[in-house]
Structure 1
C-alpha cells in the first residue's frame, strides 16, 4: 500500500542540478521499493539488473 508522506528534514537533499534526491531514511519510512533505481535505495533494487 502506498503512503503519502510529507518529506521532513533529512529525507532529501538538492542535487547540484536542483533535483530533490530522496535519502535512505525517506525510502525506509515509505516502506516499499518503487523499482525506479533510486540512488539511495535500501531495498537493493538496481535498474540495470534483469
Structure 2
C-alpha cells in the first residue's frame, strides 16, 4: 500500500527542519552549501562530508510521498 502524499512544509526547500539538521551541527554550513549546490544543478543528492553517504535533496524528496525514514532534507516535516 502506498503512503498518502502530505502537503509540503511551509519553509523553503533550502532550509531543513532543525530536528533533521540542528543549528549547532558541526558540518551544518558545509551541508547547506552542498545541498544548495545540488539543488541549483538539479542533482538528486550530494555526498555527506562526514560519512560519505549520499543524501537526497529536498527537491528530489518533494517529488515523492514521505517515506517516514527521517530524511535530513524532508520537505514534509513541519513540527
TM range (shorter): 0.5 to 0.7
> Tell me, which stretches of 5 or more residues in structure 2 are unaligned?
4-41
Q: TM-score, normalised by structure 2?
A: 0.42
Q: Which ranges of 4 or more aligned residues in structure 1 deviate by more than 6 Å?
A: none
Structure with the largest fraction of helix: 2
Q: TM-score, normalised by structure 1?
A: 0.62
What is the number of residues matched between the two proteins?
39
Relative contact order (C-alpha < 8 Å, sep 6+): which is higher? 2
Structure whose CA Rg is larger: 2
Structure with the largest fraction of strand: 1
> Tell me, which stretches of 5 or more residues in structure 1 are unaligned?
3-8
Q: CA RMSD in A?
A: 2.2
